[in-house]
Amino acid sequence: RKEVEQDPGPFNVPEGATVAFNCTYSNSASQSFFWYRQDCRKEPKLLMSVYSSGNEDGRFTAQLNRASQYISLLIRDSKLSDSATYLCVATYNNNDMRFGAGTRLTVKP
């Protein structure tokens, strides 16, 4: 089993839609979780950290469910500029960071 697994996608949604991505992690001892955004042929960039109580940043909401070992990302009111690949990250042994395969989102006019 991979350390971090994500919805395979791709997701194609119209502007203004709400879209949710899920991700599961294998190590119950994982402590830190993040969502990254990666544009085509660019490096990943931090979108938001994921906190135990859930957290929101504008149109983006992240949730953590430790019992089921999954994290989620909700994007409300999708914009064309949200089109990208979204990567979830969890710490693994010794605090190294493991990435999911990524979920590609395309927002269409």
Partner 1 sequence: GAGVSQTPSNKVTEKGKYVELRCDPISGHTALYWYRQSLGQGPEFLIYFQGTGAADDSGLPNDRFFAVRPEGSVSTLKIQRTERGDSAVYLCASNERPGSPLHFGNGTRLTVT
Smallest distance from partner 1 to CB 35, Å: 10
Q: State the nearest-atom distance from the C-beta of 28 to partner 1, in Å.
A: 16
One-letter amino acid for residue 45 of the chain: K
Around Cβ 51, how many Cβ atoms within 10 Å?
Answer: 12
Comparing CB distances to partner 1, the nearer of 46 and 80 is: 46
Shortest spacing between CB 16 and partner 1, in angstroms: 28
| x/- letters, 29..58, toward partner 1 (CB under 8 A) | --xx-x-------xxxxx--x---------
Beta strand pairing call for 103-108 and 11-14: parallel
Residue 86's alpha-carbon distances to 35, 39, 94, in angstroms, are: 7, 9, 24
Q: Which is nearer to partner 1, 17 or 106 (CB)?
A: 106
Q: Give the contact letters, 63-102, x = binds to partner 1 (CB under 8 A), - = no.
A: ------------------------x-x-xxxxxxxxxxxx
Q: Using CB atoms within 10 A of its CB, is residue 100 exposed (0-12), middle (13-18) or buried (19+)?
A: buried
80 phi and psi angles, rounded to 5 deg: -55, -35
- The residue ranges that bind partner 1 (CB under 8 A) are 4, 6, 31-32, 34, 42-46, 49, 87, 89, 91-102
